[in-house]
Structure 1
């Protein structure tokens, strides 16, 4: 399977279905971007007539969505350094905000009557906000329910503790028809360490990674460049600092760089970076949040990035050489992904555990980047069937009883 191909449900006597994608999005862009890619594939293939994304992302309105895809913005929350949450709505505590989000979710699903609900990452939703809706849907609704997991969640022991605290294992066992893992078992199994039953594991589908394509055309530099992107940017300051230090230390460093900050790297930190960028005299150019980043990925000589799921999908999709500088707090997800990808020969990984986060190491990595192997040279072509598999599974679930659907 390669790129998604149109499916014609009407040719076998069934109408396209309606899909809701739940994306809790307390921080960052990952869940929203993954949900948007899935919704686009389902509607453009003809499997779904329309799709609605339920998202808490504060920047959802800055993305373009296909004609058949809409979104409902849930009241936002913010995660504090100690792991607790506060509401972004003035005058509302976190309990009231969670209750409001839960009511909006339930009302949307009740009115829209989806054939399929795809829940991203959190089986019970943010602070359990999905549980009442999921239980109601299980009491005779036509809606099929899928839990979608990225390829890596966290260290097995940490994840097991977190899921036990949230009641996530019980919810997965009793409330979901299937589990989709948007990755490959040969890369990593995100459920290792979880006490899931053989029944749930038999209903787990490994889709492969989600291929990305250029949706919106955009201008890119006509001279060779590397792309530097911290994704959403909220925790990318250390990586950006390291790259700028490399260009400051070596006046002959090439290729030049295009730095995309991300929507959450802002304020005084970004202002200080901008001062340093200007002093480099055009060797590094910068821009803020760019929802049309795909053309920059496609045209670059290579990419320096963090190890988020969506960025990794883009590296594979555009067959890009990459140096990954993964975060290691508050969870090891990015480091695990980058480490496994390096073992498979797909990327170069620079991380603090190997004491490589030095300016000299970054200078050497940038110089070597245009000569690195591309992912395809390490056999990455077979990793990107995710959207095709999702289309096929979604169509099967919406048209057949579960006994016929599980593979």
Structure 2
């Protein structure tokens, strides 16, 4: 629904979205979906996404949405970070990113800043910008959180180290949770004040749609996707082994590796795909994966937030194989969603990640209920809720400016 009156704004609104993107595609894709919904709802508005994703340039951005690419950082296996492509240590890279974020905010002059997941940004890089915008009163500050972050005890320790609670209490006008309490409360058990909790909004999940003019592959097929692919080797290996060991397994599979699965591992998988002679076909990365979801008979995937939203948005029977390290986020989401009957989970501890269990899961897809048959009312209303909140925040800014 378009809002032509701009909800009382005195000028064409500017929305800035921050996603640190040290790993995977989730933060960028969520920010892109939000930006598209907001600019569609408010035809005079524009949105600017600040992202550290190395593949941001491979995505199409809608009209009046653009992005600024921050210098990338990569997480090592030991948990430390390094600069992705420059001869700078992590402290220098973080300082450079922080300066770029602040200078962009100064020039863009956003009416609303939406921060994805990290209240203080990567290594605290967002704090100078939060302080500036808060002091000036020039923008409404929003923290956007996915439905599940991590186990409460783990998250509490992490946020204490990052001074995240203090930032929420001091800087943020609102906190949006892109889910529903019926599935999970990501902030349960955290020491937030009553005032901070009163500023929380449960938006519902962020619905996705297929806006491309691409044609889905020949049907029927099931879609196999490990999301960004950086930690999807186990899922891909298991699916290929299932088709290799059971010649009668059907329908055929369309496999999307993700942009972060590469090198010798990808080459080895491609040799196995070729040997299956069309029973499995593959692509490395598809920025219009919504088209593949729309045409699929079912889905076998990992349990990231965006993939989960796509499963529900396109009403697909799905088997989710969640990762359990370095966070339990995907397992918590999949476990609760299975309890609600929305999906089936293939649990490495309960079911075993075996070829037999994967064959059984694929064969069982047609017998699962569609998500729409069990979906609670309002579960997928997140984008509408967000655009309504943008209107309310712009009204508040307009009223404050007039005082």
The aligned counterpart of 1:376 is: 372
Aligned partners of 2:384, 2:185: CA distance in 1, in Å? 20
Q: What TM-score do the two structures reach when normalised by structure 1?
A: 0.96
Name the SS for the 2:115 alignment partner.
strand
**Is there any run of 5+ residues in structure 2 with no aligned partner, and where?**
none
CA distance in 1 between partners of 2:357 and 2:33 (Å)? 35
* Equivalent-residue separation in structure 1 for 2:272 and 2:295 (angstroms): 25
- Report SS of the residue matched to 2:303: coil
What displacement does 1:385 show?
A: 0.6
Contact 2:180 2:202 in 1 (8 A): yes
1:173 to 158, 169, 175: 169
Tell me how many residue pairs correspond in the alignment. 400
Residues 19 and 48 in structure 1, CA contact (< 8 A), matched pair in contact too: no
Aligned counterparts of 1:123 and 1:11: Cα–Cα separation in 2: 27
1:234 and 2:230 matched: yes
Corresponding residue for 1:91? 87
Structure 2 CA distance, aligned partners of 1:247 and 1:222? 18
Question: Which residue number in structure 1 is paired with residue 393 of structure 2?
Answer: 397
Q: Would the alpha carbon gap of residues 236 and 402 (structure 1) be closer, same or farther in structure 2, given more than 3 Å must change? A: farther
Alignment of 1:16-165 (within 5 A): 16-46=12-42, 49-165=45-161
Kept in 1, the 8 Å contact 2:36–2:62? The answer is yes
**CA–CA distance in structure 2, aligned partners of residues 315 and 371 of structure 1:** 16
SS of 1:81's equivalent?
Answer: coil
Check the 8 A contact 1:255/1:367 in 2, yes or no. Answer: no
Q: Which moved more, 1:10-19 or 1:65-74?
A: 10-19
How far does residue 184 in structure 1 lie from its aligned partner after superposition? 0.2
2:251 corresponds in structure 1 to 255
- Tell whether 2:363 aligns with 1:367: yes
CA offset digits 1:131-188 (Å, max 9, x no partner): 0110111112321100000000000000000000000000010010000000001110
Q: Cα deviation per residue 1:76-99 (whole Å; 9 max; x = unaligned)?
A: 000011111001133111011000
- After superposition, the Cα gap between the structure-2 partners of 1:44 and 1:142, relative to the gap in structure 1 and judged at 3 Å, is same
* Secondary structure in structure 1 of the residue aligned to 2:231: coil
After superposition, the CA RMSD in angstroms is 1.5
Q: Distance in 1 between matches of 2:345 and 2:376?
A: 17
Say which is worse superposed, 64-73 or 347-356, in terms of deviation. Answer: 347-356
Contact 2:21–2:51 (Cα < 8 Å) also in 1: yes
Q: Distance in 2 between matches of 1:288 and 1:227?
A: 13
1:277 is paired with a residue whose SS is helix
2:331 equivalent to 1:329: no
Once residues 7 and 113 of structure 2 are traced to their aligned partners in structure 1, the CA distance between those partners, rounded to angstroms, is 24
Q: In structure 1, how many angstroms separate the alpha carbons of the residues matched to 2:355 and 2:114?
A: 43
Give the unaligned 5+ runs of structure 1.
none
Check 1:10–1:48 CA distance in 2 against 1; reply closer, same or farther (3 A cut).
closer
